[in-house]
Amino acid sequence: MRAPTTNRRLVQQTNNPDGLEHMCIAADLLQKMFSELCAIAADDADLTRVLSYSAPGIQCRLRRLHESVDVLVTVHDPVTNLALMRRATTLISWLWSEIDELALLAAGE
């Protein structure tokens, strides 16, 4: 698992930090939520079973999201940034949906 990114400090030094800062925050929150779900799964057999199937895909997408955010923080090419922002937005949407589903399972709903 990845620790929360320190890119927020770097984002504050860029020309357009607002959208990028939100991307960093979203990546950090999704990582934290997934880590918490993994911790909860230790005491929940159903969640453990579901995580055994979904965790690799979630981890891969979280890694891709963090990589995209890392590049967005360091690269200042508008064309590249636009493509990466779209990619990051798609990844955030997918991850939110998957992690929300797992959270509902963990809550027993």
Percent of the residues in the chain that have a pLDDT greater than 70, as a whole number: 83
Average pLDDT in the 51-58 region?
94
Cα 58–chain centre separation: 9
Does residue 2 belong to any structural domain of this protein?
no
In a domain, residue 9? The reply is no
Contact present, 21 and 8 (Cβ < 8 Å): yes
Q: What is the pLDDT of residue 17?
A: 56
Report which of residues 9 and 23 the model is more confident about: 23
CA distance 83 to 61: 16
pLDDT tens-digit map of 23-49: 999 999 999 999 999 999 988 888 999
Q: How far is 97 from 12, CA to CA, in rounded Å? A: 28
- 4 domain-assigned: no
Asked if residue 10 is part of any domain, the answer here is no
Asked, for residue 11, whether it belongs to a domain, the answer is: no
Residue 39 located in a structural domain:
yes
Three-class SS string for 47-67? HHHHHHHHHHHHHHHHHHHHH
38 inside domain:
yes
Q: Tell me, yes or no, whether 91 lies in a domain.
A: yes
Question: At residue 69, does pLDDT exceed 50?
Answer: yes
Print the domain residue range for 87.
17-107
Tally of structural domains, the chain: 1
